[in-house]
Amino acid sequence: MNDTPRVCVQVQSIYVASQSAPDEDRYVFAYTITIRNLGRISVQLLSRYWLITNGNGRETEVQGEGVIGEQPHIGPGGEFQYTSGAVLETPMGTMQGHYLMVDSEGEKIRVDIPVFRLAIASHIH
């Protein structure tokens, strides 16, 4: 019997004022992602896909191998955490996407990452 891995993704985002230039419509956000393997077998993250939407509704797609140059293996009960960033032309936006993973038995898994907000705290209503 194949134990389908259970993978949990948590996201925290912050506005990076020191790298932003609001007068030039440049808003930099950092996000930290924690990927937890709640299953009984190892998984490896192969690729990522992001849909980034700015406050005006303009969408940008980003996809590629791994995350931050790595294709991490995450053992049962283990976790992998990384921080990356996004630049928007507006003080608010959203990101969502998915990871493609493979488990130690060779089965591919798509892990959806629910929409999360990128926003300057003073702009959240």
DSSP secondary structure code for residue 2 in this structure: -
Residue 46 CA to residue 109 CA, distance in Å, equals 10
Question: Which residue reads 């702009």 in tokens?
Answer: 123
Contact between 53 and 94 (Cβ < 8 Å): yes
Of the candidates 100, 65, 69, the one whose C-alpha atom is nearest the C-alpha of residue 83 is 69
Q: What are the tokens at 95?
A: 């990101």
What's the pTM value of the predicted model, to 2 decimals?
Answer: 0.90
Helix (H, G, I), strand (E, B) or coil at 17: helix
Please compute the mean of the pLDDT values over residues 37-60 and round it to a whole number.
97
Q: 89: left (phi > 0), else alpha (psi -120 to 50), else beta?
A: alpha
pLDDT of residue 122: 76
Q: Each residue of 107-122: pLDDT tens digit?
A: 999 999 999 999 998 7
Strand order across the beta sheet in which 27-37 lies: 7-15, 27-37, 79-88
Q: Each residue of 85-98: pLDDT tens digit?
A: 999 999 999 999 99
